[in-house]
Amino acid sequence: MTARGERFDPGSFEQGWRDRWEADGLYRASDDDPRDKHYLLTMYPYPSGDLHIGHWYAATGPDIVARMRRMKGLNVMFPMGFDSFGLPAENAAIDRGIHPAKWTASNIANMRTQFRSMGCMFDWEREVVVSDPAYYRWTQWLFVQFFKAGLAYRAMAPVDWCPKDQVVLAREQVLGTERRCWRCGTTVIKRDLEQWFFRITNYADELLDFTGMDWPEPIRLMQTNWIGRSEGAEIAFPAETPGVEPIRVFTTRPDTVFGATFMVLAPEHPSVAALTTTDRKADVDAYVAAARRETEIERLSTEREKTGVFIGSYATNPMTNERIPIWVGDYVLPGYGTGALMAVPAHDERDYAFAKKHDLPIRYVVQPAGNPAPEGEPFVAHTADEVLVDSGEFTGMPASEAIGAIARSLAERDLGGPAVTYKLRDWLVSRQRYWGAPVPIVYCPEHGAVPVPEDQLPVLLPEDVEFAPTAVSPLQSHEEFLKATCPICGADARRETDTMDTFVDSSWYFLRYCSPHDDQRPWDPEAVAHWMPVDLYTGGAEHAVLHLMYSRFFVKALRDMGHLAFDEPFIALRNQGQILGADHHRMSKSRGNVVNPDDLTSRYGSDTVRLFLMFIGPWDQGGPWNPTGIEGVYRFLARVWGISLPDASAGGDAAGSAAEDAELARALRRATHMTIDEVADDYAGFRFNTAISKMMELANAIVRAREVGLAGQPAYAEAVDTLLLLLAPAAPHMTEELWQRRGHDYSVHQQAWPVADASLTTVDTIELPVQVDGKLRDRLVVTANTPADEIERLALASPRVQAHLDGRAPDRVIQVPGKLVNIVTPGD
RNA sequence: GGGCGAGUGGCGGAACGGCAGACGCGCCGGCCUUAGGAGCCGGUGUCGCAAGACGUGCGAGUUCGAAUCUCGCCUCGCCCACCA
């Protein structure tokens, strides 16, 4: 801090500037702005009560980019809202008797205030709160559109059910590997209930296509793996039992079908009962019942024994025409492929383990070309040079060819053909909870599930509800809510009590931001056409799959219904790292390691906290919280303050000659102009830590310039003004204050981003490292256009190089223009 | 078990085929001061008085040159987890 001039006191001006920006609507994004639109979005938070340091970390990065892009001439929209439906509000209601709406509203009010203290350029006029009926009305409207388009349907699905409380539990309400009810500790069971689904699997293939999307590779990979597309063949194995359909299986290895020596059905497979023979019925029934009870509990374990029972009947291998036994085993998953598989123990590890345990035949039908068939272990390798053995007419054929040939042979006999299957399942959107958007459906005894007419939306959540500790959704016992009439026939009907998964709310909130106050439709098509798609989306990587994939699905589905005219919601995506507690664990209230930014801001100011968070490391990395070092960032800002105050130019002892001063001024100007693009590139690449270090270097250069008496010169003023402009996105308050004090027009945030003067950034002398055998021995200072042979001569003439050459003539000299010289000796 | 990512000073990190340790914290020394937990100046990878040698988890390799590329191993983190 400067000895003269006024002390840096962020508390004296930060709030004032925030009020002014707010009053002036500085960050309001207008639809008719002639500049190019730029939609920058950061994931909205769940209103848990307080903003912690992680929220600051997540929001400051995109705020910097938003501010820079605005200075670069774009019409930036940067909105914020609240993901305000969900379980914690309901838990608060149950535990403390506060109504979820009340609890949520007070949390939002608090967090909104805290958000404002960060000095982000959020356009609060566009705020979206998903638990507001003005929002969920349109969530319901969208459900109806999905229903009409056949993309929302009802089906039986297993749910976690507490037999004591008689209630469906959410996934997070089932605790531990013993799977106990969070409330009463009873062991939870699976129970089939009618649930609502969205048909996301219709879009599996399109969701695999990331063409033109600037997304992190790990996220694309995770979604790709989640969708889990597998190519192979479907093959029908006729069952001997009369009246039973052939058993269809999916396989990625049709080339091994000659080695299929038995079949295994999932316990849930629909043909199990019909295929079970009388003498096996007791065993099979017991096994199926046990598997059903254990679904997911035991199946989670990879290492467990391959259990199963023989069903008593046989099928025919369509290639060998052999009778092969049919088993039931819980390692076969009901939801994947056809829920049945042909077991090829010689070429699949799981089938091999099953065959060994149950003493079933193992037949090798593929082997490495020219090698004997391996014994004692499954041969699963799938490379180019394998051939079929013991496979009838296909014996000797390369495995890669056999895949197609066998599939064709089966297709000719109507016993199969090429097939594709996915791991992706349809999206279960039903939640048996209160605090969510009610599914807008009524059940008519005559017409079944009927959507609520659009002009009767929203289906409001009743407010007069009691939250009993049994955790049963109060909607299920709210007579007035349940009472409905059929929209088709007017008969007495019952209202659906399921609410929607909160991921439904977040699958379209980015559309609502475009026209948040429209009360005639979910969005204004013109506004959406103007702003969408989101140019840059930021958020935590924990949403890699669900939220991001659901949003992509929504956009594609709505496009196909004619509501949208683009394919993807988010062009570019960046993930911030997670700030952990000082104990290296996730911040959570129960651990007591949550860092509240309020203490830090009151002590250092918002700018310092913002800058510190961006300085501690790469933004996408995160890491454990450690406030050590915040002083350094504060000192940096205080130094910027000191060199920028108008009276800073008064000091300095002009000492050098005019020529020396001109050279120093030129060096300062070069440093200034070099920094402009470096900082811009770093900001754009989310490398805020290096951007800040470069601004620190410029500030240090300005301090030195003042010490040598440059403070009164134009180069000094240019350096300071440029530094303030570069720093403005990261430290918006103090740069605004200094900008004003230096006599410039309000606001620094409406200035154009500075342009680097190329004539200043090109260097005329360079320092070249000189290596001997790759080891640094000397440095040469030469003019930038020195010819190569001259550089070589100078390098060889260096006494230090000579010493290391030790009389030897160089073998060769490698020059990387402008980078270095390496002299290679013949020795090695 | 599979996939992805990461290992660099006392610490956060920079460099990402070409000067390892930018920038900052901390620490050491000095200046200023009635005082300093303020500010300013200098130093700070390790060993060594020095010249110099060594140095980016470990081990190989490619290259004139490797923290960076390749292969194998170790450790940590995240995701998926019997997906036929």
Confidence of residue A818 (pLDDT cuts 50, 70, 90): confident
Joined together, the tokens standing for residue A644 give 């920028």
Separation between the CA of A540 and the C1’ of B60 (whole angstroms): 39
Q: Which nucleotide is nearest to A231 (CA to C1')?
A: B84
Closest nucleotide C1' to the C-alpha of A348:
B84
Distance in Å from B58's C1' to A189's CA comes to 49
Q: How far is the CA of A693 from the C1' of B50 (A)?
A: 35
pLDDT at A343 over 90: yes
Q: From CA A440, how far away is CA A456, in angstroms rounded?
A: 10
Distance CA A451, CA A447 (A): 11
What sign does the dihedral A286-A292-A294-A295 (CA atoms) show? positive
Q: Tell me which protein residue sits closest to nucleotide B66, measuring alpha carbon to C1'.
A: A774
A326 CA to centre of own chain: 43
Q: Is the pLDDT of residue A828 over 60?
A: no
Return the bridge partners of A250, or none: A234
**What value does the mean pLDDT take over residues A88-106?**
90
Q: Protein A776 CA to nucleic acid B53 C1', in Å?
A: 14
* Span CA (A571) to C1' (B44), Å: 47
Using C1' positions and the CA of A264, the closest nucleotide is B84
Q: Is the ipTM of this complex over 0.85?
A: yes
Q: Are A392 and A386 in contact (CB under 8 A)?
A: no
Q: How distant, in Å, are the alpha carbons of A89, A105, A463, A594 from that of A49?
A: 10, 10, 21, 12
What is the distance in angstroms measured between the alpha-carbon CA of A682 and the sugar C1' of B21? 20
Q: Which residue is nearest to nucleotide B24 (CA to C1')?
A: A632
Closest residue to B12 measured CA to C1′: A616
Pick from A387, A390, A396, A393: nearest CA to A364: A390
A599 to each of A1, A115, A348, A442, A635, how far by Cα in Å?
23, 15, 59, 51, 18
pLDDT tens-digit map of A498-549: 999 999 999 999 999 999 999 999 999 999 999 999 999 999 988 888 899 9
Note the CA–C1' distance, A295 to B58, in angstroms.
44
Q: How far is the CA of A302 from the C1' of B81 (A)?
A: 8
* Nucleotide nearest A703, from its CA to each C1': B40
Nucleotide nearest to A779 (CA to C1'): B19
Residue nearest the C1' of B14 (CA based): A690
Q: Which nucleotide is nearest to A221 (CA to C1')?
A: B4
Per-residue model confidence (pLDDT) at position A549: 94
Taking CB atoms within 8 Å and a gap of at least 24, the contacts of A334-337 are A334/A266, A334/A267, A334/A268, A334/A269, A335/A425, A336/A421, A336/A423, A337/A249, A337/A250, A337/A421
- Model pTM? 0.93
CA of A767 and C1' of B63: distance in angstroms? 24
Between CA A366 and C1' B71 the distance (Å) reads: 29
What CA–CA distance (Å, rounded) separates A818 from A703? 29
A654 has a pLDDT exceeding 80: no
Please give the C-alpha separations between residue A571 and each of A213, A241, A267, A524, in angstroms, as whole numbers: 5, 55, 43, 21
How large is the average pLDDT for residues A663-667?
89
The gap between A625 CA and B48 C1' (Å) is 39
Q: Which nucleotide is nearest to A250 (CA to C1')?
A: B84
Q: How far is the CA of A588 from the C1' of B45 (A)?
A: 38
Give me Rg for the CA atoms of chain A: 34
Q: Which nucleotide is nearest to A819 (CA to C1')?
A: B18
CA A29 to CA A14: how far, in whole Å? 23
Which CA-bearing residue is nearest the C1' of B39? A1
Of A728, A749, A750, A753, nearest to A610 by C-alpha is A728
What are the tens digits of pLDDT across the range A205-252? 999 999 999 999 889 998 999 999 999 999 999 999 999 999 999 999
Lowest mean pLDDT among A14-18, A376-380, A552-556: A376-380
pLDDT score, position A3: 40
| Residue A335: nearest nucleotide (C-alpha to C1') | B83
HSE of A808 in the Cβ direction (CA atoms, 13 Å)? 15
Task: For residue A298, give the nucleotide whose C1' atom is nearest its CA.
Answer: B82
Determine phi and psi for A416, rounding to 5 degrees: 155, -170
Average pLDDT of chain A to the nearest whole number: 90
* For range A708-735, the mean pLDDT: 94
A217 CA – B71 C1', rounded, Å: 24
Q: CA(A614)–C1'(B14) in Å?
A: 15
Q: Would the pLDDT of A300 be above 70? A: no
Query: For A259-296, b where at least 16 C-beta lie within 10 A, e where not — what string?
Result: bbbbbbbbbbbebbeebbeeebeeebeebbeebeebbe
How long is the CA A421 to C1' B72 vector, in angstroms? 36
Whole-Å CA distances, A791 to A779, A800, A801, A817, A823: 11, 15, 13, 10, 12
If you average pLDDT over residues A364-371, what whole number do you get? 83
Provide the CA A630 to C1' B9 distance, Å, integer: 20
Of A285-289, A383-387, A730-734, the range with the highest mean pLDDT is A730-734
Report the distance from CA of residue A825 to the C1' of nucleotide B55 in Å, as an integer: 24
Helix (H, G, I), strand (E, B) or coil at A132: coil
- pLDDT for res A825: 83
Question: Cα torsion at A248, A253, A254, A256 (round to 10°)?
Answer: -110
Gap between the Cα atoms of A460 and A441, Å rounded: 12
- Half-sphere exposure of A245 toward its Cβ, with a 13 Å CA cutoff? 12
Query: A617-638 pLDDT, tens per residue?
Result: 999 998 889 888 899 999 999 9
Minimum-distance nucleotide, CA of A545 to C1':
B79
Among the listed residues A777, A825, A126, the one whose alpha carbon sits nearest the alpha carbon of residue A511 = A126
Q: Report how far residue A499's alpha carbon sits from residue A440's, in angstroms, rounded to the nearest whole number.
A: 9
Q: Is A91 exposed, middle or buried (0-12, 13-18, 19+ CB in 10 A)?
A: middle
The pLDDT of residue A674 is above 90: yes
Measured CA to CA, the distance from residue A61 to residue A65 in angstroms comes to: 7
- Choose between A778 and A304: higher pLDDT: A778
Token digits for A213? 């999307």
Q: Which nucleotide lies at the shortest CA–C1' distance from A251?
A: B84
Considering all nucleic acid strands, name the nucleotide whose C1' atom is nearest to the C-alpha of residue A700: B23
Measuring CA to CA, how many Å separate A738 from each of A19, A88, A640, A643, A748? 17, 44, 9, 10, 9
Return the axis-axis angle of helices A732-741 and A606-615, rounded to nearest 10°.
Answer: 120
Residues 6+ apart with CB under 8 A from A632: none
Instruction: Tell me the β-bridge partners of A37.
Output: A75
Through-space separation of residue A655 CA and nucleotide B81 C1' in angstroms: 72
- Closest nt to residue A616, judged CA to C1': B12
| Protein residue nearest nucleotide B19, by CA to C1' | A769
Nearest protein residue to the C1' atom of B20, measured from CA? A776
**A340-343 and A775-783 as β-strands: parallel, antiparallel, unpaired?**
unpaired
Which one is predicted more confidently, A708 or A100? Answer: A100
Measured CA A353 to C1' B59 distance, in angstroms: 36
Closest nucleotide over all strands to A217 (CA to C1'): B4
Residue A2's pLDDT band (boundaries 50, 70, 90)? very low
Tokens of A362: 């193992």
Helix ranges, A587-713 (H): 597-604, 606-615, 630-644, 658-684, 688-707
Q: Is the pLDDT of residue A776 over 90?
A: no
Residue nearest to nucleotide B6 (CA to C1'): A621
User: Which nucleotides of strand B lie within 7 A of protein CB?
Assistant: 1, 3-5, 11-15, 18-20, 22-26, 38-41, 52-53, 64-66, 78-84
Please tell me the predicted confidence (pLDDT) of residue A63.
97
- % of chain A at pLDDT higher than 70: 94
Q: How many Å apart are CA A531 and CA A508, to the nearest integer?
A: 14
Q: How far is the CA of A768 from the C1' of B25 (A)?
A: 32
User: In which band, very low, low, confident or very high, does the pLDDT at A303 lie, cut at 50, 70 and 90?
Assistant: low
Nucleotide nearest to A822 (CA to C1'): B64
C1’ B8 / CA A617, Å = 14
